[in-house]
Chain A
């Protein structure tokens, strides 16, 4: 067939440009890190490849978090998954329930005979990804938490003390009023609205997001984000929006860009945005703990992580997993971790890396980078603040965001919206429970 011949020729022509096949075993690593982080990942892979000769790690950027997770799932179903895939925290329940599709990290390390001590990792991080028997299921990689940034120049301009960032939402209100009066077009914005204002809000105030320890103790969990305190917080946000103190920027990191451009004076978003802010902002800024409501009894507790971990997919030749284990050992080295932590702003995953960074004097030179670590470890985590594990939470989180949006639009009251969020969210939990029985 002419067409096929043509296609084959074209294919062959295309392959000529690619490097020749290597005798090494290739380890595929699908990730969602773009920009400077993508470069860092390539550097890590290069470092690992130079450290041994048996395996060749190939990192592939597969789009946003949901995109790479979907691609990995589709590839698994088709029988050709990557070895390692980076999955964001909301996908944890989905990955965890797929017993036959993933290989627990603990087991991989054991099988390969690599030294591995789960205790060496930051508890706030590992707690999220460890099963009830204490097995670490995935390899922590990039973790961050929601923190609060202020534009010190804007504070000065509004006659506020730039050294005193609002600690509580009450203080926040006062600052917002002044900033608005000083002509600030956008007073405050947020990235990742559900993660910051539902998930982290709950942990920070020691409130449950759902029953069964936020879903960690069983699939028959139900959302609890319509308690009076939750409703109060969402209503407060609605009030801020009405006053023109809160500008909604979207469900992802768009808010960060508006903070960097100087448009918005205050921001709550991922601690990992700090590098980008430092690079792009033409003003003096500082990073702080999230504001809390001092009239709520549990606050401030500790915040929870976001970000992603590395999951190992099953279905590859047994020998390949030795390479994966070797790579994980390499990745856990304090110097590799310290480099990753300091150049990206993500939390270091091992205690040794944290100590090493501290000793190097990095935190004095770069104030704000350790805010996330301190906030994550503010108090010993409770059942409400050690993490969350809800099935189908990609959808669940979007439902929370949709309902928040309808409050900010003034279409629903905070109570009605959060009630709907719980109802719709529970439908998804039930469906997930039924599919994963």
Chain B
């Protein structure tokens, strides 16, 4: 989409763009380019010896069943986080849209987790669910649940999904609430006069009207689950047990930063960058279309 009215100047737009482009080039493209370059190399940890190995790092990655498993785990995790986050937020938003009394109070009390750092959110939930001293673990154990997420992979997954969803609900909630409030009342009233009950109205009118918001949130949530949950995972499971919560970003970070395998990690970064670019294009195309409504 373009503006009809534009200004003309030979230098001004470049000057205006300069700071952002400069920072982007220096702190984004230059390091990202280096990452791609490293992905074709085999280096010792200190960068003292370097060999060019072509696509060897990529070959090794795709031969590694744990890397492929990490793809599956990431997909599973993202779908869970996006699914849970969206449905819970939608439920809460629908309810908040109905109530008149205390609406602002509810809203305020629901949005604050947005402000909590992922790393801190991870710490809070890890504390609640800590195998030995955690309050929730205590209750679970009293009720006969064998709760030990440091060993049980599915429990660890549950923990990171809960912690990640918790942080994202407020964001989704805000968008759904705004979406709900922009649906014309007359439409719903008409349906009510025709005798459609609240649940029917929701599924036949409200939900379809919300579909652009839902789709937008889906993309945002998946991106969130892919990348921003790094802090949550690092503060809780650190990818374990037995790799059960090792999402792609965490593996790239772990291999590069903790295991000092620069080549392998850079190859993963390169693959991640491709995924990101694809997601950006999808999201961008979608948002572009949405603007024209």
> What residues of chain A have their CB less than 8 Å away from a CB belonging to chain B?
1, 3, 66-67, 69-70, 73, 76-77, 94, 97-101, 185, 247-251, 254, 257-258, 261, 263, 392, 394-395, 401-403, 405-406, 408-409, 411, 424, 431, 434-437
B240 CB to closest chain A CB (Å) equals: 7
Whether B151 pairs with A394 at a CB distance below 8 angstroms is: no
Point out the residue from A261, A263, A401, A436 that lies within 8 Å of B44, measured CB to CB.
A436
- With a cutoff of 8 Å between Cβ atoms, the chain A residues found around residue B66 in the complex are 424
Contacts of B3 in A (CB 8 A): none
**A403 contact set on B, CB distance < 8 A:** 242
Stretch from B5-13, B215-223, B225-233, B256-264 at the A interface:
B256-264
Judge whether A394 and B259 touch: CB under 8 Å.
Answer: yes
A435 vs B49: C-alpha distance when bound (angstroms): 7
B residues 138-167 touching A (CB-CB < 8 Å): 141, 148, 150-153
In the assembled complex, the Cα of A98 lies from the Cα of B256 at a distance in Å of 17
Partner of B150, one of A94, A98, A254, A261: A254
* Bound CA–CA A249/B147 (angstroms): 11
Chain A residue at smallest Cβ distance from B257: A70
Interface of B is mostly: loop
- Judge whether A405 and B241 touch: CB under 8 Å: yes
Q: List 24 A-B contacts (CB under 8 A).
A: A3-B19, A67-B258, A70-B257, A73-B45, A77-B47, A94-B45, A97-B44, A98-B48, A248-B148, A248-B150, A249-B132, A251-B240, A254-B132, A254-B150, A257-B132, A261-B133, A394-B258, A395-B255, A402-B241, A405-B151, A409-B153, A409-B241, A434-B42, A436-B44
**Alpha-carbon separation in the docked complex, A91 to B146 (Å):** 36
Q: Are A392 and B44 in contact (CB under 8 A)?
A: no
List B242-293 residues whose CB lies under 8 Å from chain A. Answer: 242-243, 255, 257-261, 263-264
Assembled-state Cα–Cα distance A171/B44 (Å): 46
Could you say which residues of chain A place their CB within 8 Å of the CB of B257? 66, 70
Which residues of the partner chain B approach A394 to less than 8 Å between Cβ atoms?
Answer: 258-260
Decide if the interface of chain A is mainly helix, strand, loop or mixed: helix
CB atoms of A395 and B259 under 8 A apart:
yes
A73-B260 contact, Cβ under 8 Å, with A99-B48, A261-B132, A435-B49: yes
- What's the minimum C-beta distance from B147 to chain A, rounded to whole angstroms? 11
Q: Which residues of A contact B49 (CB under 8 A)?
A: 435-437
> Is the CB of B43 closer than 8 A to any CB of chain A?
yes
Interfacial residues, chain B to chain A (CB-CB below 8 A): 19, 42-49, 51, 60, 66, 131-133, 141, 148, 150-153, 240-243, 255, 257-261, 263-264
Q: List, in ascending order, chain B residues with CB within 8 A of A392's CB.
A: 259-261
How far is B151's CA from A401's CA once the two chains are assembled, in angstroms? 11
Q: How far is the CA of A67 from the CA of B148 in the complex (A)?
A: 26
Distance in angstroms between the alpha carbons of A376 and B131 in the assembled complex:
32
Q: Choose among B44, B66, B152, B257 the residue with the greatest number of A CB atoms under 10 Å from its CB.
A: B44
Determine the distance from Cα of A402 to Cα of B150 in the docked complex, in whole angstroms.
11
Contact between chains at B131 and A254 (CB < 8 Å): yes
Closest A residue to B151 by CB, please name it.
A248
Residue on A nearest B42 in the bound complex, by CB: A435
Besides A249-B150, A250-B150, A251-B240, 12 new A-B residue pairs in contact (Cβ under 8 A), listed by A number: A70-B260, A73-B46, A76-B47, A185-B141, A247-B148, A254-B150, A261-B132, A261-B133, A392-B259, A403-B242, A409-B153, A435-B263
How far is the CB of B290 from the nearest CB of chain A, in Å? 32
Is the beta-carbon distance between A258 and B132 smaller than 8 angstroms?
Answer: yes
User: Closest chain B residue to A97 by CB distance?
Assistant: B44
A309 to B243 alpha-carbon distance, docked (Å):
29
Instruction: Find out whether the CB atom of B46 lies under 8 angstroms from the CB atom of A76.
Output: yes
Taken together as a complex, chains A and B put the C-alpha atoms of A406 and B242 apart, in Å, by 6
> CB-nearest residue of chain B relative to A101?
B46
State in angstroms the CA–CA spacing of A401 and B131 once bound together: 18
Nearest 9 pairs of A and B residues by beta carbon: A250-B150, A101-B46, A405-B242, A248-B151, A395-B259, A98-B46, A258-B132, A402-B242, A66-B258
- Among B45, B131, B242, point to the contact of A409 (Cβ < 8 A): B242
CA–CA, A20 to B260, complex, Å?
36
For B241, B242, B258, the residue with the greatest tally of chain A CB atoms inside 10 Å of its CB is B242
Is B240 touching A405 in the complex (CB atoms < 8 A)? yes
**Closest Cβ–Cβ distance, residue A98 to chain B (whole Å):** 4
**B132→A77 contact, CB < 8 A:** no
| Complex: A254 Cα to B261 Cα, angstroms | 27
Q: Which residue of A lies closest to B246 (CB)?
A: A402
A76 to B60, CA, bound (A): 27
The answer to whether B48 touches A263, judged by C-beta atoms less than 8 angstroms apart, is no
**Min C-beta distance of A130 to chain B, whole Å:** 21
> Looking at B47, B141, B260, which has the most chain A CB atoms within 10 Å of its CB?
B260
- List chain B residues, Cβ under 8 A from A70: 257-258, 260
Q: How far is the CB of B204 from chain A (nearest CB, A)?
A: 46
B37 to chain A, nearest CB (A): 14
Q: With the chains together, A268 CA to B257 CA distance in Å?
A: 29
Q: How far is the CA of A264 from the CA of B97 in the complex (A)?
A: 50
> Chain A residues near B45 (CB, 8 Å)?
73, 94, 98
Asked if A402 and B44 make an inter-chain contact with CB atoms under 8 angstroms apart, the answer reads: no
Measured in the bound complex, the distance between the Cα atoms of B131 and A247 in whole Å is 10
Give CA–CA (A97, B46) in the complex, Å.
9
B184 to chain A, nearest CB (A): 44
Task: Give the residues in chain B near A436, CB-CB below 8 Å.
Answer: 44, 49
Structural contact, B151 and A409, CB atoms closer than 8 A: yes
Q: Which residues of A contact B153 (CB under 8 A)?
A: 409
Residue of chain A at shortest CB distance from B264: A431
Specify the chain B residue showing the minimal Cβ separation from A2: B19
Closest to A395 in B: B259
| Closest CB in chain B relative to A314 CB, distance in Å | 10
Contacts of B19 in A (CB 8 A): 1, 3
A3 to B66, CA, bound (A): 45
Complex alpha-carbon distance, A431 and B241, angstroms: 24
- Given A70-B258, A394-B259, A395-B261, A435 and B151 touching (CB < 8 A)? no
- Shortest beta-carbon distance from B10 to chain A in Å: 22
Residues from chain B with Cβ under 8 Å of A402 in the complex = 240-243
Chain A residues within an 8 Å CB radius of B51 = 434-435
